[in-house]
Amino acid sequence: MQKDLVIVSLGGSLIVPEEIDVEFLKKFRELILRYVKLGKKFIIITGGGRTARRYQKAASEISHLNEEDLDWIGIHSTRLNAHLLRTILRDVAHPVIVKNPTKKEAFKESVLVAAGWKPGCSTDFDAVLLAKAYKAKKLVNLTNIEYVYNKDPKKFPDAKKLEKISWKDFRKIVGDEWDPGLNMPFDPVASKEAQKLGLEVAIMKGSDLENFENYIQGKGFKGTTIS
């Protein structure tokens, strides 16, 4: 199963950049269905993205929230996005959304959809735990950036894109602390666990579905590989 299994962390920014991106979701669905017919299986975990940040911001303007409050808002945002994805893939998806990535869900369908678990980490970490549970060696993080950079390219014009980087060097960039609403290529808690497992993570711009197909097919792709 591992050979035909693709684990995908699907960024919430792709699902809801401003409004729900119906055109992206149509194309993503078509791609998944096409590869399901070819025998591929997918575990897809959805992020909360802008939906989470909007709710977190609104709640923070009304009342003082602690980190756990903010995390739970984010977690429920991921679950809303997961239900949307599972619904549009209902013909090939397992009917139950995974909320605890440490418990291996037996599924005969071609797609398993997962969402946020508990405070203290992002769905990046949950994706790593799913890879561990299903003995996968790789996962792909579809996000809103093409590459990881050695520093923030929005602030530093001389920032360099990184096509390959070790976990040791990557963790120097992202640090070790988790913060709800943190906007990093791959969260610090997830990075620590991925390094421990020897997991390979590919980060790429998810809106470029042709590039994602190259990854699925084992071809060269635009993005950053962390291992």
Residue 19 belongs to domain with CATH number: 3.40.1160.10
How far apart are alpha carbons 28 and 52 in whole angstroms?
21
How many domains would you assign to the chain?
1
- Residue partners of 88: CB distance under 8 A and separation at least 6: 25, 29
Give the CA radius of gyration of the chain: 17
Name the one residue in this structure whose structure tokens are 């190259």.
214
State the pTM of this model: 0.93
Domain that holds residue 31: 2-226
Q: Are 93 and 111 in contact (CB under 8 A)?
A: yes
* 85-127: pLDDT as tens digits: 999 999 999 999 999 999 998 899 999 999 999 998 889 999 9
| Position 182 confidence tier, pLDDT thresholds 50, 70, 90 | low
Neighbours of 122 (CB within 10 A): 30
* 22-80: pLDDT as tens digits: 999 999 999 999 999 999 999 999 999 889 889 999 999 999 999 899 999 999 999 99
* 128-165: pLDDT as tens digits: 999 999 999 999 999 999 999 988 888 888 989 999 99
pLDDT recorded at residue 37: 97
- Average pLDDT rounded to a whole number, residues 201-216: 97
